[in-house]
Structure 1
Amino acid sequence: MRISIIGGSSVTDTVRETAAATGRVVAQRGHTVVCGGLGGVMESACRGAKAAGGETIGILPTDRRADANEYVDTPIATGLGHGRNALVVMNGDAVIAIDGAGGTLSEIGLSLVYDRPIAGLGTHEVDGIEACETPEEAVKYVET
């Protein structure tokens, strides 16, 4: 299963830790992390996944694969800017949203449009998101 982990690029240490723990749980459960490939939640989720021996895919807003964070195994350059958010969502079987701002909110909306199960950890309160307290709870929700 591929799980898209979405969230902000400017984050607190607490959010960074939550994202790393979520990536780690995703990998421990045998799933692949899909993300936007840059910093913040994206980098932390990839770092957590790699620490657990997992695989990561980064769908970049730029046209340069070299822009991916160091924990991305497969960088996909799009040159689409925020338009790549649809690709981040569509390439996951489910979505976990962590914190975030406007870009994350757009990905949440796209998750609902594309009928992806979506769990939230401290993110926007939107109908259709399952609010979860822990990374384990979020991963368990999107697996079902």
Structure 2
Amino acid sequence: MASPYVAVVGAGDASAVQLRAAEEVGRAVARAGACLVCGGLGGVMAAACRGASEVGGVTIGVLPGSDRRAGNEWLTVALPTGLGELRNGLVVRAADVVIAVGGAYGTLSEVALALKTGVPVVGLDSWEVDGVLAVDSPAAAVERALELAVGGRA
């Protein structure tokens, strides 16, 4: 069975509480043996990658620009796309499940695209949208996400 790919999405300018939550999410994703996919930059993305990296996890950043060096320092793989915000679609399509931590309109676009394309979404202090499974802790977010990802799309 392939490791699930879990996208962690959220704002680049997240609150301190959201950053701590994202780091815990990243750590739990990695400990579960899943791959963490994100937009590869700062804020929630960097915090989740830092958490995953600290416990030996694999992190994949789908970058908006053309320079892989623009990715955060905790990425295992940095994929420059040159697509700007359109890269949000690649983040979602690469994932078996999405965990949204906080977020602004970029996060909302990822949530909407995931729901439209049948990718399950778990929300932690995030958008209240029909179809998003709201949870109240990082541990619950990852537990539910892994249940929803079951085996990945390979």
What does residue 69 of structure 1 align with? 72
Aligned to 1:127: 130
- Structure 2 residues not aligned, in runs of 5+: 148-154
Match of 1:27 in 2: 30
The offset of 1:59, in angstroms, is 0.1
Which residue in 2 is equivalent to 1:102?
105
Look up the SS of the partner of 1:66 in the other structure: helix
Deviation, structure 1 residue 53: 1.0
Once residues 55 and 99 of structure 2 are traced to their aligned partners in structure 1, the CA distance between those partners, rounded to angstroms, is 18
- Aligned-pair distance for 1:143? 1.6
- What is the CA–CA distance in structure 2 between the aligned matches of 1:119 and 1:134, rounded to whole Å? 11
Q: Which residue type is aligned with residue 40 of structure 1?
A: G
**Post-superposition CA distance 1:52-74 (Å, at most 9, x none):** 11000000000110100000110
SS in 2 for 1:3: strand
Give the whole-Å Cα distance in 2 for the aligned partners of 1:31 and 1:74: 14
Please give the per-residue CA displacement for 1:18-43, whole angstroms capped at 9, x wherever unaligned.
00000000001110100000000000
- How many residues align? The count is 144
In 2: Cα distance, 1:58 partner to 1:5 partner:
10
Aligned to 1:88: 91
Q: For the residues of structure 1 that align with 2:137 and 2:14, how far apart are their CA atoms? A: 17
The 1-side partners of 2:103 and 2:132 are apart by: 14
- Residue aligning to 1:51: 54
Q: How much has 1:113 moved relative to structure 2?
A: 1.3
**In the TM superposition, what is the alpha-carbon distance from 1:138 to its structure 2 partner?**
1.0
Q: CA RMSD in A?
A: 0.6
Partner of 1:5 in structure 2?
8
Residue 20 of structure 2: which of 4, 17, 20 is its match? Answer: 17
Q: Which amino acid aligns with 2:30?
A: A
Distance 1:59 1:105 in 2: 17
TM-score of the aligned structures, taking structure 2 as reference length: 0.92
Percent pairwise identity: 44
Deviation of residue 4 (structure 1)? Answer: 0.2
Deviations 1:71-127 (A, max 9, x none): 011000001111000000011110000000000000000110111111000001000
**What SS class does the counterpart of residue 131 from structure 1 fall into?**
strand
Q: Structure 1 residue 50: deviation in Å?
A: 0.5
Return 39-48 or 109-118, whichever deviates more. Answer: 109-118
TM-score by length of 1: 0.98
> 4+ runs of 1 displaced by more than 6 Å?
none
